[in-house]
A and B are shown apart, each in its own frame.
Chain A
Amino acid sequence: NAGVTQTPKFQVLKTGQSMTLQCAQDMNHNSMYWYRQDPGMGLRLIYYSASEGTTDKGEVPNGYNVSRLNKREFSLRLESAAPSQTSVYFCASSEGQGAYEQYFGPGTRLTVT
Chain B
Amino acid sequence: GESVGLHLPTLSVQEGDNSIINCAYSNSASDYFIWYKQESGKGPQFIIDIRSNMDKRQGQRVTVLLNKTVKHLSLQIAATQPGDSAVYFCAERGSGAGSYQLTFGKGTKLSVIP
The interface bits of chain B over 46-65 (1 if a CB of A lies within 8 angstroms of the residue's CB, else 0) are 10010000000000000000
Also in contact, A41 and B101, with CB within 8 A (given A100-B49, A106-B43): no
Residue positions of A touching B, CB distance < 8 A: 4, 31, 33, 39-45, 48, 50, 56, 58-59, 90, 92, 94, 97-98, 100-107
A-B pairs with beta carbons under 8 Å apart, 18 shown: A40-B3, A40-B7, A40-B106, A42-B104, A43-B44, A43-B89, A43-B104, A45-B102, A48-B101, A56-B100, A92-B43, A94-B100, A100-B49, A101-B34, A102-B46, A104-B36, A106-B43, A107-B43
Picked from A40, A58, A101, the residue with its CB within 8 Å of the CB of B101 is A58
A104-B44 contact, Cβ under 8 Å, with A40-B3, A40-B106? yes
B44 in contact with A100 (CB, 8 Å): no
Q: Find out whether the CB atom of B107 lies under 8 angstroms from the CB atom of A39.
A: no
A54 to chain B, nearest CB (A): 10
How many chain B residues sit at the interface, stated as a range, is: 20 to 34
Interface assignment of B99: CB less than 8 Å from any CB of chain A:
yes
Query: A42–B6 contact, CB under 8 A?
Result: no
Q: A31-B100, A42-B89, A58-B101 are in contact. Are A104 and B43 (CB under 8 A)?
A: yes
Docked-complex contact B100 and A42, CB < 8 angstroms: no
Residues of A within 8 A of B43 (CB): 4, 90, 92, 104-107
Q: Which residue among A42, A59, A90, A92 has the maximum number of chain B CB atoms within 10 Å of its CB? A: A42
A98 to B5, CA, bound (A): 31
